[in-house]
Amino acid sequence: MTVTAGAVTQLLIDGRLALGGGGAFPTINPATEELLGTAADGDAADMGRAIDAARAAFDETDWSRDVALRVHCLRQLRDALNADIERLRDITVAEVGAPLRLTQSGHLQGPINDLAFPADTAESYPWRVDLGVAEPLGVPTRRTLVREPFGVVGAITPWNFPHQVTFAKLGPALAAGNTVVLKPAPDTPWCAAEVGRIIADKTDFPPGVVNIVTSSDHRLGAMLAEDPRVDVVSFTGSTATGRSVMAAASQTIKKVFLELGGKSAFVVLDDADLVAACTRAAFAVTTHAGQGCALTTRLVVPRSRYDEAISAVVEAMAQIPVGDPRDPNVLCGPLISARQRDRVQGYLDLALEEGGTFACGGGRPSGAGFFIEPTVISGLTNDARVAREEIFGPVLVVLAYDGDADAVRIANDSPYGLSGTVFGADPERVAWIVARLRTGTINVNGGQWYSPDVPFGGYKQSGIGREMGLAGFEEYLETKAIAEAVN
Ligand code: NAD
């Protein structure tokens, strides 16, 4: 570790690094259960000052109108993050339990590089569009559309992919000209605080444009949702918390952007290469110990090939490297906390109560760390709670279907609609299924949707809005119509 045990991180408010009014709170290494150090514990007064600073930076400076400055600052941030990437990598592995190999992609390196997309988009974006002259209501008028930032964005993030979610919010929100108050999850304060330190020390972001308030207190997130000085609340987290964010934000009719939970289906057609599909499904559900909202957690297979599928997926699970996230081979590290480990364990107990069987796993390995064995649950239908509720662990439920329409019915029989996968040999049948799945993203035969120009988000209770891509950038823009009389 390049950050030593006992180190304390700071808040970023109005361009200055500072300790929080609530003192400090611990951050734990989930792979060893050891204390890593402490983080500044922001309190309500800190959050109030952060919102004030963001408001002033938006209302009283030219940030919202200076595209060149924004592009410069974002590119500078990307370069500064890359210059410090080994330190960030150490922190991410130690604090999040993120497997080292995933920091080469979705956990760290990818999201840093992806900051280029919103910067490039801002540079070439049509901020002003001339709609030409018309005579609405008989008045000759030149019509112009102007795209403008909303104002202050309150960004609330979860612990599971802290850098990915943080940069997918900061990038477009700032490129669009907003100012931001970021409230990270209490489980991963160091990841966010390091970004704050780099912004303060290594970039030209004007004071107040980015504020980062780490805290052990969830109510600081609720403050962002309620505060009339905040114009947008951009939330990623569980559907239950998303509901209360939406309710709180309704008091001030602020824009709500929600990226929530998932229970995505992996549909295997009867003509598919079953071993290839099941290997992919095992890989997906164990990535970062299943702590990904878009990971596929229901394997939906033809009843005629159910036993064959169970054997194939159990064999694939046995090949998944589990353990110390610092090991470059490991794919499945620990869960984030004892609380999450116990929550997943509760679902494993429930699976047995509901009549399910563990085809493999179902327990906790001995030794330190919040680990759960990669688990395959068989013998249940989609009505079981373990098939309907988000478990957020390396746990796959295998479900049988009868015919393609039944596969679609099962996949869609969920309050969620975030992602999905289809494996099949016949392109027409695959297309038929894809056209009927009610989800925001779908991988086909091993393809991967994740990239900076592809919008990501959920149907149904998986969220409102899209992150990344042009759609993600435009989430942070208002539209102003200007009508000028022509003589
Ligand atoms: P969570 O909902 O418990 O917490 C998320 C954030 O909300 C944290 O910063 C927390 O402090 C804050 N918060 C808690 N109560 C709040 C309130 N009343 N008002 C405002 N903010 C509040 O989620 P988590 O356990 O940190 O993360 C796991 C969840 O996140 C899973 O459900 C997962 O599916 C979801 N997730 C979704 C996506 C996506 O893009 N769809 C991405 C990652 C994670």
Q: What does 392-455 look like in DSSP terms, one character per residue? A: -SSEEEEEEESSHHHHHHHHH-SSEES-EEEE-S-HHHHHHHHHH---S--EETT----STTS-
Q: In percent, how much of the chain has pLDDT > 70?
A: 99
**pLDDT for residue 487:** 86
Strands 210-212 and 179-183: parallel
**Which residue carries 């100012």 as its tokens?**
179
2: pLDDT strictly greater than 90? no
Q: Is 259 in the pocket of ligand 1 (CB under 6 A)?
A: yes
Would you say the CB of residue 158 lies under 6 angstroms from ligand 1?
yes
Of all protein residues, the one whose alpha carbon is nearest to atom 30 of ligand 1 is 237
Q: Ligand 1, from 51, 153, 160, 461: best to mutate by most atoms within 8 Å of Cβ?
A: 160
Q: Report whether 324 contacts 31 (CB < 8 A).
A: yes
CA of 424 to the centre of ligand 1 (A): 34
Strands 264-268 and 141-149: unpaired
Q: Work out which ligand 1 atom sits closest to the CA atom of 261.
A: 34
The C-alpha atoms of residue 98 and residue 160 are separated, in whole angstroms, by: 9
- The whole-angstrom separation of Cα 481 and Cα 464 is 25
> Are the CB atoms for 370 and 340 separated by under 8 Å?
yes
Q: Is 115 helix (H, G, I), strand (E, B) or coil?
A: coil
Q: How far is 170 from 88, CA to CA, in rounded Å?
A: 17
Tally the C-alpha atoms within 13 A of residue 423's C-alpha that lie toward its C-beta.
Answer: 23
Query: pLDDT by residue (tens digit) across 26-79?
Result: 999 999 999 999 999 999 999 999 999 999 999 999 999 999 999 999 999 999
Q: 334-364: per-residue pLDDT in tens?
A: 999 999 999 999 999 999 999 999 999 999 9
Count the helix, strand and coil residues of the chain and give each as a percent rounded to the nearest 5: 40, 25, 35
**How sure is the predictor about 6, in pLDDT bands with cuts at 50, 70 and 90?**
low
* 473: Cβ contacts below 8 Å, ≥ 6 apart: 118, 121, 122, 125, 172, 175, 176
Ligand 1 within 6 A of CB of 160: yes
Q: What is the mean pLDDT of residues 179-196?
A: 98
**pTM of the complete model:** 0.97
Between the CA of 431 and the centroid of ligand 1 the distance, in Å, is: 33
For position 447, what pLDDT does the model report? 97
Q: Tokens 């003509």 label which residue? A: 271
Residue 114 has pLDDT above 70, yes or no: yes
With 80 as the cut, is the pLDDT of residue 4 above it? no
Write out the two tokens for 12. 């970023």
What average pLDDT score do residues 128-135 get?
98
Catalytic positions, please? 259
pLDDT at 8 over 80: no
C-alpha of 1 from chain center: 25
Q: CB of 233 closer than 6 A to ligand 1? A: no
Q: What is the mean pLDDT of the chain?
A: 97
What's the gap in Å between 181 CA and the centre of ligand 1?
16
